[in-house]
Amino acid sequence: MKSTNFLGSTGLNNPLKTKLPKTKLPRTNTKSIISVFSMIIIAIFLLSGIYTIKTGEEAVILRFGKHVSSNSNAGLKWHIPIIDKVYKANMNEVHRLEFGFRTLSEGSTRKTPRYTSNTKESLMLTGDENLVNAETIIQYKIKDAKNYFFKVDDPVDTLKIISESIIRRSIASHTLDDVLTDNKLAIQQEIKDDLQKLVDKYKLGIAITAIQLQDVNPPQEVDAAFKDVASAREDKNSYINEANSYKNEVIPKARGNAAEMVNKAKAYKTQRIEEAKGDVANFVQILEKYKDGKTVTKTRMYLEVLEEILPNMDKYILSEDGNTLNILNLNNKLNLSSKEDK
């Protein structure tokens, strides 16, 4: 029995051997898709060049590795992607370097900060050949982003090296007492000034804001002896303060007494001058009376003196021949001058 070929009966070819016609997209649609895809790529490319400058930041732009501009205006900015590179630095942020110790954890309201010492960095020699541990903090800001990023390969590491050198040099040029107490502030200012000069010379683009000798103390081996010295120094200062207090109390009193004595002396001087003037005037009057009647005036003055030196006594005047003169009653006060004036 023969099998019937239904496909063959219709006059069609075998579907396995039949080729379907190819469908072609319109050329206009292809160009549109390519254009949209290209625009998307261009948009992504352009958007990748957008960057943000925050307040206090400065952006340095390089084009093919060459500095072309710096911008410190806050807001959205744009640079050429791939070709340009942007480096940003926070100009307001205060950075910190630690010498002689390291901060393990920052302090808070509930926790105290924890530190670890590094004696290799802190141990230094003073000008009077004493050893001292000087733990120092250096605070700085970036003041020139271009120099900070491109003048030196590692500005922070460079700053560490020159800072340690200047700290050791400054400590070595002062005595132990200066470093511990007496001249500590001046040493900090000296380190800051010298360090800033060297940083500017190397063009690190850094501004030194503060130098603090955090903890300056002698080595542990001689710590007890130095504590005794410090205690004696405190006693000395205490005695000096007591002496100054006594001085401030006594000197004003002495000045007051001196002023009082001077015033009394001036008053006495004025009094004596006026009395002398009165005596002179009196003497002038007596002199005038004396010139008018020398014998009478001489006798009157003689009798007045006798009355002063021999008061309350009976007095008798004898004449040259030895007779008593009864005409004068010396028991009453003599007032010859008033009688003569009358």
| pLDDT tens, residue by residue, 244-298 | 999 999 999 999 999 999 999 999 999 999 999 998 988 888 788 777 777 777 7
More confident site: 212 or 35: 212
More confident site: 67 or 266: 266
Going through the chain in order, the beta strands assigned E by DSSP cover 50-53, 57-63, 66-71, 75-78, 84-90, 95-99, 101-105, 114-117, 123-125, 131-142, 206-217, 317-318, 324-325
Per-residue pLDDT, averaged over 61-71, amounts to 83
Question: Is 95-104+114-218 in CATH node 3.90.320.10?
Answer: no
Instruction: Place 334 in a pLDDT band, splitting at 50, 70 and 90.
Output: very low
Whether the CB-CB separation of 134 and 216 falls below 8 Å is answered with yes
Per-residue pLDDT, averaged over 188-210, amounts to 94
Nearest one of 196, 201, 207 to 145, comparing CA atoms: 207
Q: What is the pLDDT, as a whole number, of residue 205? A: 92
**DSSP single-letter state for residue 108:** -
CA distance 340 to 342: 5
Q: What is the pLDDT, as a whole number, of residue 328? A: 47
234-257: b (≥16 Cβ within 10 Å) or e: eeeeeeeeeeeeeeeeeeeeeeee
Alpha helices by DSSP H, listed for 106-180, are: 119-122, 145-150, 155-172, 176-177
pLDDT value at 23 more than 60: no
Q: What is the pLDDT, as a whole number, of residue 3? A: 44
pLDDT value at 13 more than 90: no
**Cβ-based neighbour number of residue 110 at 10 Å:** 5
pLDDT value at 226 more than 90: no
Q: What is the pLDDT, as a whole number, of residue 21? A: 52
Nearest one of 229, 219, 228 to 100, comparing CA atoms: 219
CA distance 179 to 216: 7
What percent of the chain stands above pLDDT 70? 81
DSSP 186-241: HHHHHHHHHHHHHHHHHT--EEEEEEEEEEEE--GGGHHHHHHHHHHHHHHHHHHH
Q: What is the pLDDT, as a whole number, of residue 111? A: 65
Domain residue spans of the chain: 36-90, 95-104+114-218, 234-285, 293-341
Q: What is the pLDDT, as a whole number, of residue 312? A: 76
Q: Phi-psi category of 197—alpha, beta or left, where left has phi over 0 and alpha has psi -120 to 50?
A: alpha
Instruction: Place 25 in a pLDDT band, splitting at 50, 70 and 90.
Output: very low
Question: Which residue type occupies 167?
Answer: I
- Which of the residue ranges 180-184, 188-192, 209-213 would you say has the lowest mean pLDDT? 180-184
Nearest one of 175, 248, 167, 162 to 203, comparing CA atoms: 162
Q: What is the pLDDT, as a whole number, of residue 1? A: 39
Give the Å distances, CA to CA, from 15 to 6, 10, 19, 77, 229. Answer: 12, 12, 8, 64, 113
What percent of the chain stands above pLDDT 90? 29
pLDDT value at 228 more than 90: no
Per-residue pLDDT, averaged over 13-23, amounts to 49
pLDDT value at 29 more than 60: yes
Q: What is the pLDDT, as a whole number, of residue 107? A: 57
Instruction: Place 140 in a pLDDT band, splitting at 50, 70 and 90.
Output: very high
**Cβ-based neighbour number of residue 330 at 10 Å:** 16
Q: Looking up tokens 């940003």, which residue turns up?
A: 88
Q: What is the pLDDT, as a whole number, of residue 57? A: 86
pLDDT value at 45 more than 70: yes
Q: What is the pLDDT, as a whole number, of residue 168? A: 93
Q: Looking up tokens 């603090």, which residue turns up?
A: 212
